[in-house]
Amino acid sequence: MADLLSLFPAGSTFAEDRTLVIGGCRADNLAEEFGTPVLVVAEHALRARAREYVDTLAARWANSRVVFASKAFPCTAVQRVMVEEGLGLDVAGGGEILTAIKAGIDPGLIVLHGNAKSDEEIAIAVEHGVGLVVVDNSDDVDRLEATVPEGRTQDVLVRIIPGVTADTHAHVLTGHEGSKFGLAPADAAPLINRIEQSTRLRMQGLHVHVGSQILDVEPFAASVEPVARLGEFPIYDLGGGLGARYTWADNPPAISEYLDSLIGAAREHLPAEAQIIIEPGRSMVCESAATIYRVTTVKRGKVTFVAVDGGMGDNLEVALFEQRFEAGIVGRFEGPDHETVTVVGRHCESGDVLVDGVDLSAPAVGDLLAVPATGAYCFTMSNNYNGNRRIPVVFARDGQSRLVVRRETWDDLTARDVD
């Protein structure tokens, strides 16, 4: 269990009494001040990760840009950190455009994605001057040409299906044949030609993405050559998808290893003067946050269930993607009387499991339980199932904590009712 600390945000430590400390803040103090469950982001670790991406890519390809895939953690405060560290923002809908604007982004540094963009989202993008719209289909072109005012042009990329199947969960594969995202090269060619003839759109380049939580560099490199076959363009957006470390069994490639492979393929296949964009999401934020829960029930029998005051309302990764997490009792990561338990949530579903089969030290009602690596997609997919109130987000840095997203109130649950 001593290894568990390595899964928490960089810089996490134990206090003298072995209490977990994140961003210089004791977990028990955070729980007392903000309640539980609470999602804690180590701000220094988050900023360091952003800078590492920017510096590592720039060292390998000067004309480059790192664009944070906001869907991994579309919290305004997280987007603002990325803006302050010099990154652009990749958004996947109108709401993420608006939070990006609130975060202070130059709209020209926004990249808009989506396989089924609405008229309203296209209008929001054009109104705010979004820099790049990734065209997923011919309907995107129809909507853009109908929306962009006469005398203006909108820069676009065309999303390509590279025909690469990565080793990851089927629900997060995107580059395989038959993907709902993008176009096969043969189908993309005539659309590219159409865009090049348009008076309101400007063909800037191509986009490719092979999936998420990928722990091998080969699929990224393999996706470059199919894109290069479609011609030379000013911009190539090579997507994201690098995996994160959720458990001590995970061994994701380092950023340097990932970019050595990806940029190696770019040097082989792409024009030297082109701009390269990458879109890290999960690997940018996952390991920079942890969630602290309170144990509400311990039920011993054929299986020992340790139930906490959160669950699939704040972490859908397990139910949707079968993602494995680890956990520890705060103050007793290395404590006595370990037993193998299943950590479950409070929601009325048998699938509401946070960690199936984890060793905890003498779990008891009232204990704090900490789960690392919850920075990616947990906030994104939080929900109100069973009247659940979505949990707060707290930034911790140098021993100081600040609330950046408040916990929902009971009144919030009925705020949209009209009758």
DSSP state of 230: T
Spatial separation of the C-alpha atoms in residues 314 and 317, rounded to whole Å: 9
Looking at residue 105, its amino acid is I
Token representation of residue 234:
């000013």
Looking at residue 398, its amino acid is D
SS3 129: coil
- Provide the strand spans (E) within 170-308: 201-208, 235-237, 275-278, 289-299, 305-308
Work out the number of other CB atoms within 10 angstroms of the CB of residue 92. Answer: 21
Q: Are 131 and 155 in contact (CB under 8 A)?
A: yes
DSSP state of 234: S
Spatial separation of the C-alpha atoms in residues 97 and 237, rounded to whole Å: 19
Q: Which residues contact 149 (CB under 8 A, 6 or more apart)?
A: 126
261-292 burial by CB neighbour count: b if 16+ within 10 A, else e?
A: bbbebbeeebeeebbbbbbbbbbbbbbbbbbb
Spatial separation of the C-alpha atoms in residues 417 and 419, rounded to whole Å: 6
Q: Could you tell me the CA-to-CA distances from 121 to 147, 157, 196, 351, 411 in Å, in that order?
A: 11, 17, 23, 34, 29
Q: Are strands 338-344 and 353-361 parallel, antiparallel or unpaired?
A: antiparallel
Q: Which residues are catalytic?
A: 348
Q: List helix spans (H) across 89-233.
A: 94-102, 119-128, 138-147, 185-197, 218-222, 224-228
**CA–CA–CA angle 213, 257, 214 (5° rounding):** 10
